[in-house]
A and B are shown apart, each in its own frame.
Chain A
């Protein structure tokens, strides 16, 4: 089971504050869209290196529409809050199974 998300289509500011206990601002307008495939960023060795699963990996790139951020995490909520704080219209999520 993995959690991969991609948010994009909007130029974003830099984001700070990744402590899981610190709430990010909630954006109720963001829609989650289920997609067929997103690339892996978390690698098998990450599981052994970080058994508590706090690791996040990102790939950020510019696109004609703005900035696209791909995230992969072992604890989805941290990644979701981070991406939601960027206020994209849509976050793509890969389902499990």
Chain B
């Protein structure tokens, strides 16, 4: 692990340092003490981060994040340092995200060279994406990349668990976000992730109001958040921000600490899609379990198909400068 000086901290009385990156607000009293995220530590009178590093450097389709209404078919050079502030009990990527909490997980990342990353992204005509683990823990790397080259577009697949102060600094650097909203029930969220949902809801609204292109993902987990009331509450929360926000319903895979639960059935996913449309959401997607119809974009006005997708890519895009070619309706997105 290589440590780099961090931002987002504040000295406190009695020689303490307060981390201001996420709402856990860790207070560091002793040298080399590590935060709840496991990738920020105190060094003297500063904080350091281990997230100027990545375990992967994958060239993904943007549809894989998933982002369906942001530059369909675009390539994303995806980075992921180990670590997460949350400890989601279903995390499929726990070998990366839960670094520091499970003894069998080692540090798998290598330090990044910012100029080399930028050159690779530009050569590939790709955006830079942070995904697989928690992007907001790479806040300093995100800022450094954005400051190094303004041609870069940066996207996040995030849990949205960061402070308002950090969000305000990062918003100008971000082009698009897919935010995970697991539940809006506070007790349920704490039980599932170890963190409160309130800051996530605040950030969801703030990202949208700031003009970042926003899509939302929800894993539908039987016996946890798959009941009609829970899903309706999430749908209504998104609708209250904007019915135009795309909502991705993710099929739960029994993994990590929830291996005893069944996977989400296609029938349940289908019911959730119908419910979301009844609530008023216009763009609801299921990546693979419902077949191509689950991931294609239809016009909410004339109901003709506009964009057809493969599992992780674009097949056909009929949009005419962001409008339905048949009825002329403007389709929300950055096309």
Contacts and interface: CB of A to CB of B under 8 A. Distances in A.
Interface in B139-158: 157
A2 interface: yes
A36 B76 CA distance: 12
Interface in B193-251: 219, 250-251
A75 interface: yes
> Chain B interface mostly helix, strand, loop or mixed?
loop
Q: Residue among A34, A51, A77, A97 with the most chain B CB within 10 A?
A: A97
Contacts of A47: 251, 263, 265-266, 288-289
Nearest to A28: B104
Contacts of B136: none
Contact of A1 (B92, B108, B291): B92
A85 B289 CA distance: 30
B132 A96 contact: yes
Interface in A75-97: 75-77, 93, 95-97
A42 to B, nearest CB: 9
Interface in B13-62: 55-56, 58-60
A74 B253 contact: yes
11 contacts: A1-B250, A34-B95, A34-B108, A47-B265, A48-B266, A51-B266, A52-B263, A75-B259, A77-B259, A96-B132, A97-B93
Interface of A: 1-3, 28, 32, 34, 36-37, 40, 44, 47-48, 51-53, 74-77, 93, 95-97
Top 5 nearest A-B pairs by Cβ distance?
Answer: A53-B263, A36-B58, A96-B92, A51-B265, A95-B132
